[in-house]
Each structure stands twice: as structure tokens, then as C-alpha cells.
Amino acid sequence: MRMKRHWTKLAIVVACLAAIVAGAVTGPVLAGPPQPARGKGEKCVAPTDWMRRYHMQALKHQRDETVHEGIRTPRFSLKHCFECHQVAGADGRPVSVADPKHFCRTCHDYAAVRVDCFECHASRPGEEPIRTGSTTDNPPAAAASGDVAALNRYLGDAKR
């Protein structure tokens, strides 16, 4: 009786190991890191490895110079990035950030990072940014009107 239990346990362990090995052999192959579309220019404003790691700091620096100091340069501007890195859809027009092929989404989806730039900025060349005028959806308008509750709602949503 005792020997029968051992054989049963052994059979269960062997079956589990076989399932694990079979799943590892026939399971899905990982696609690897994302492959965003190449830029249209001869070279990027910075080396590719640097841009992958530090693009957000460059964009924040550009934002601060533009918004706070009034200095507008194309080096790290979103508009300049889109002129070079736009991805065309089936209709030949640049895709918006709603499309998974959008240049920014290629890596951001892979890294599970929320892209919130387009709450204020256009996500493709020649498109106007979305401006609702509502303090609930527009943090700068909320700040200007002193609507603290709207700012808190926005910051709460941004944490998602």
C-alpha cells in the first residue's frame, strides 16, 4: 500500500516535469526588444544608445528651456522628433499615438510606461494638440484657474 503511494507521487512529479519541459520547448518565443522605425534623417540628434536611456531627461530639459525661459530650439523638441520619426499607416498618413505602430508607443508599450505627452501635444506632424479648455482635462488651465481639485484628480489619474 505504502509503495503504491510512492509510485503515484512519482508519476505526478514526472507528469508535472514533462508538462513544464513540453511548455518550454513548444511555448511562445519571446520577440525580443522593440524595433522602432528608423528616423528619416542621416543621424539622430544624439547617439541611439544615449537617446534610448536619456530621451525623457532631454525632453524635460527642452520643456523647461521653452516654457520657463522662452528658448525654442529644435534639438529635443517633440515636433522635430516627429518630423523625423513619423510612421505612416495604411493610408500613407502618419499614425497617431492611438496606433501601436506609433514611434513612441513601440518602446513605451514594451516597457509598460504610460505616454502622457500627448495630453497636451499633438502625436503626429501637422496635427493640432488637443486642447479641451476644461480644467478637469487640462492641468495648465486648472493651475491658471486655481482649481486644486481638478489638479488633484489629474495627478491621481497620472499615477495609474
DSSP 94: B
Same domain, 107 and 149: no
Has residue 60 been placed in a domain?
yes
Q: Does pLDDT of 24 surpass 60?
A: no
Cα–Cα separations (whole angstroms), residue 98 to 102, 105, 107, 132: 8, 9, 14, 18
**Mean of pLDDT values over 24-33:** 59
Residues 52 and 107 in one domain: yes
- 30: confidence class by pLDDT, cuts 50, 70, 90: low
| pLDDT at residue 91, as a whole number | 92
Higher pLDDT, 116 or 131: 116
Confidence band, pLDDT 50/70/90 cuts, at residue 25:
low
Question: What does the pLDDT average to over 138-149?
Answer: 58
Residue 31, domain member (yes or no): no
Considering only residues 141 and 71, tell me which one the structure prediction assigns the higher pLDDT. 71
**pTM of the complete model:** 0.55
Is there a domain that residue 55 lies in? Answer: yes
101 lies in a domain? yes
Tally of domains within the chain: 2
Let me know if residue 54 belongs to a domain.
Answer: yes
Q: What domain range is 90 assigned to?
A: 38-119
Within a domain: 106: yes
Q: Can you tell me the mean pLDDT for 115-136? A: 68
Q: Does residue 64 sit in the same domain as residue 107? A: yes
Radius of gyration, alpha carbons of the chain: 25
Tell whether 42 and 102 lie within a shared domain: yes
The per-residue pLDDT for range 101-125, each reduced to its tens digit, is 888 888 888 888 888 888 878 787 7
- Same domain for 47 and 72, yes or no, is yes
Estimate to the nearest angstrom the gap between the alpha carbon of 110 and the chain centroid. Answer: 7
